[in-house]
Structure 1
Amino acid sequence: MKVGCIGLGDIARKAYLPVLGALPGIELHLQTRNPETLARTADGFHIPPDRRHTTLDSLLGQSLDAAFVHAATVAHPEIVTRLLEAGVPTYVDKPLAYELADSERLVELAERRGRSLAVGFNRRHAPGYAQCADHPRELILMQKNRAGLPEDPRTMILDDFIHVVDTLRFLVPGPVDDITVRARTEGGLLHHVVLQLSGDGFTALGVMNRLSGSAEEILEVSGQDSKRQVVNLAEVIDHKGQPTVRRRGDWVPVARQRGIEQAVLVFLDAVRAGRVLSARDALATHELCERVVRTVRERSGAA
């Protein structure tokens, strides 16, 4: 199977290439416009010269069976469009695009072409978070915080808070009938945002504070007098009487702990089997993010 990887930044080098490079039966091709980055990365993963590409045209000339897109978000619409038009099943790191209209267009293009389009919401596959889907979920709370990183609202929400939004959507136990957004902006930069989703018998809260003093990610689900807490995707704590702690094993790869390995395998297994994966549910997450962006900007007085 010929698989292309487009964009060789941190997420590709640290998370995806170690997985792809270890899979049997994969002929891996790399593409980036920066020759130095291409040579350094390809050397590190023992990719031969004929599988190194500085242009998308060169990569598309290899008759790819699948592609992974880890380029900058602003480049996603053009790259994904060209891949889908060439008939290549495509996995793209979240988000599909900064603008909802572009995301909608890409999903519709994939459907017209009958090709898979998968979005990298790896937390749905992370073991700790997947286990929360089996726990009572009357109250869901997810925090994903950073230190010293206030940012433009659209960039912050689509590049980072989108993980919180998608995880809440994944875990809510029923239809959402009420959506509430609260946020604080200063000087056009988003400091923190809170999203509340409510339905029959449940409430889900997603929080991101970019001035929290530390980088952390904590998920809690509770109900029926018990609680499950996941700290930084590595530690699962069950609370029912005395807390019970389960930590990531010393030899468990980070990509598996974070659900990236599982997401890659699901996508490639579908490609091998000829099954088309739809991005419609991922698009619903983008639509909710767009609602958050608009609410934040309206309340901050931004255009």
Structure 2
Amino acid sequence: MRKLRIGVVGLGGIAQKAYLPVLSQAKAWTLSGGFSPNQPRAQVICDSYRFPCFAQLDALANACDAVFVHSSTESHFAVVSQLLNAGVHVYVDKPLAANLELAEQLLELAERRGKMLMVGFNRRFAPLYRQLKQSLSAPSSIRMDKHRSDSIGPQTVGFTLLDDYLHVVDTALWLANGQAKLIDGQIDCNEQQQLVYAEHQFACGQTRVTTAMHRRAGTQREVVQAVDMGAWYQVSEMRQWQQEQGGSLSELPVPGWQTTLAQRGFEGAISHFIDCVSNQTAPETSGEQAILAQRFIARLLTAQ
């Protein structure tokens, strides 16, 4: 049986830090090639990982069954459209497209072409977040904070909400596991219309969900807290677990063998997509799940 042929489009920071270290350890697949408009740079990266460098996107598509897309958000619609039309399954970094209308068009195209289109919300595959989701029975509240030490600007509020705050909204609503309704919130910007602070409250059935991000909080901290029936949970940095029940606080040790890419969900997301392509099953972050958080971000921007 022929191994699955995997390609990579976009060979910048995220590809080099989070994806190529995993994809290059080919097991049930073959890393068949990469493509980037910056050919000299692309050639160096491809050579370092010992896989072919393609000069054209269509040539890469012809040599692959599935492609991971890590190009700029602005290029997602054109790149993903070309790959889907070429008959290739696609995994693409969040957000799916630069705006909601284009994202919906890509979902429709994938359905028409009968191809898988998965958005890379890696936090949904972080082991401790998955453990938390499985542990919750009837949560009253879930709060997720993802702050930055000093990252106000230079991009506008719209870019930051879609590029970074999107992760917070998607993860928190996924943990709540219900139909979400936006209740209230605030977005604070400076005079240059750059995001300083965002906080929003959602209702998911009986669960109140709060998301928050400060761009100059003096910390890079990411924390999720959940209050459940008879239990309190906290997950910090996707690697530290605390749980309190009956007045007794317990912690789980961080597995010494677990890599940072595994802790942050990248290994899980990659494996999930490849398994779905191999077994012809729908990815968890496809269809409506691929744009659920983006729908809310679009509403927040409209209300600005």
TM-score by length of 1: 0.91
Residue equivalent to 1:268: 274
Query: How far, CA to CA, are the matches of 1:110 and 1:36 in structure 2?
Result: 32
Distance 1:201 1:285, change over 3 A: same
Query: How far, CA to CA, are the matches of 1:174 and 1:70 in structure 2?
Result: 30
Residue equivalent to 1:148: 150
Structure 1 spans left out of the alignment, 5+ residues:
298-303
Is residue 228 from structure 1 mapped to residue 218 from structure 2 by the alignment? no
In the TM superposition, residue 61 of structure 1 has moved relative to its aligned partner by 3.3
Is residue 74 from structure 1 mapped to residue 80 from structure 2 by the alignment? no
**2:23 pairs with 20, 25, 42, which one?**
20
In the TM superposition, residue 275 of structure 1 has moved relative to its aligned partner by 2.9
Residue equivalent to 1:108: 108
Is residue 190 from structure 1 mapped to residue 198 from structure 2 by the alignment? no
Distance 1:193 1:4, change over 3 A: same
Q: Deviations along 1:148-204, whole A, 9 cap, x unmatched?
A: 212312111111111111112211143334432211111211111011111442211
In the TM superposition, residue 276 of structure 1 has moved relative to its aligned partner by 4.4
Query: How far, CA to CA, are the matches of 1:41 and 1:195 in structure 2?
Result: 40
Report if the CA contact (8 A) 1:123-1:258 is conserved: yes
Structure 1 residue runs of 4 or more that deviate by more than 6 Å after TM superposition: none
- Equivalent residue letter for 1:61: N
Query: How far, CA to CA, are the matches of 2:121 and 2:69 in structure 1?
Result: 13
Distance 1:247 1:10, change over 3 A: farther
Please give the secondary structure, in 2, of the residue aligned with 1:146: coil
Residue correspondence of structure 1 range 172-191 to structure 2 within 5 A: 172-187=176-191, 188-191=193-196
- Equivalent residue letter for 2:62: G
- Equivalent residue letter for 1:254: T
Report if the CA contact (8 A) 1:173-1:202 is conserved: no
Report if the CA contact (8 A) 1:248-1:257 is conserved: no
In the TM superposition, residue 102 of structure 1 has moved relative to its aligned partner by 0.6
Distance 1:276 1:132, change over 3 A: closer
**1:10 pairs with 8, 13, 18, which one?**
13
In the TM superposition, residue 117 of structure 1 has moved relative to its aligned partner by 0.4
**2:302 pairs with 273, 288, 294, which one?**
294
Residue equivalent to 2:249: 243
Query: How far, CA to CA, are the matches of 1:172 and 1:276 in structure 2?
Result: 21
In the TM superposition, residue 288 of structure 1 has moved relative to its aligned partner by 1.1
Residue equivalent to 2:215: 210
Report if the CA contact (8 A) 1:2-1:66 is conserved: yes
Query: How far, CA to CA, are the matches of 1:75 and 1:176 in structure 2?
Result: 30
Q: Deviations along 1:28-62, whole A, 9 cap, x unmatched?
A: 11111223322332233222xxx212331331232
Residue equivalent to 1:300: none
Report if the CA contact (8 A) 1:98-1:155 is conserved: no
- C-alpha RMSD over aligned residues: 1.6
Structure 2 spans left out of the alignment, 5+ residues:
none
Q: Percent identity?
A: 33
